[in-house]
Amino acid sequence: LRLVQCWQKAGIRLAEVAFDPSRPERDQTVLKTIELLCRQTKGSMIIGAGTVISEEKLKAAHKSGAAFMVAPNVNKKIIKKANQLDMVTLPGAFSPTEMEKAYEAGADFVKVFPASVLTPAYIRAVTNSLSQIPLVAVGGVSSQNAGDFLKAGSCAVGVGGRLANKDMIRQGQWNQIEQEAVDLVNAVGNAER
């Protein structure tokens, strides 16, 4: 909760709580965290589930209050089910073909992952041809490059490790985490001008 409070203070309004396929024993913790954040933030933040790779996890996340789902891949069944549950969908894609398949399957947004490997130039090239598909750059995005991805055509960015650094959390470096969040919000704001 402290981490999300840092983000809120900085102006971030969406948070993803991710499942870890290598640690299914933690699924209940993920679901309880989604539920707790939904209750604690009382609508001031939109909470979603990440790494949703099965309909079972999707339904459980929805039941816990998740408003959106993020996936590492394009699974048409999961996208369709999420649409039926009125959840916003962000399936992951790497190639223009995958992006188009995700969008045709009903994705609201397409997560371009890993964005840092693909670069803003890649986003620009793809959006020149597939401008109807709202792309979200995720993976290796920070306050230093978020603006570049937005200027290149991403409609949003997703930031993970830079805002949820486990070492910084363990050491209680909340001011540094909040500053990184402020820097990110400023970078996004500057890119939108």
C-alpha separations of 69 from 82, 176, 193 in Å: 8, 28, 29
Q: Is residue 144 part of a domain?
A: yes
Q: Is residue 115 part of a domain?
A: yes
pLDDT for 162 = 79
Q: Is residue 95 part of a domain?
A: yes
pLDDT for 193 = 58
Range of the domain at 106: 2-186
Using DSSP bridges, classify how beta strands 14-18 and 46-50 pair: parallel, antiparallel or unpaired: parallel
Domain count, the chain: 1
- What lies within 8 Å, CB to CB, of 40 at 6+ separation is 1, 4
pLDDT for 64 = 98
Cis peptide before 96 (omega within 30 of 0): no
What is the mean pLDDT for each group of 10 consecutive residues in the chain (193 residues)?
91 96 96 97 94 98 98 98 98 97 98 93 96 96 95 95 89 94 94 73
CB atoms within 10 A of CB 45: 19
Q: Is residue 192 part of a domain?
A: no
CATH of the domain at 116: 3.20.20.70
pLDDT for 76 = 98
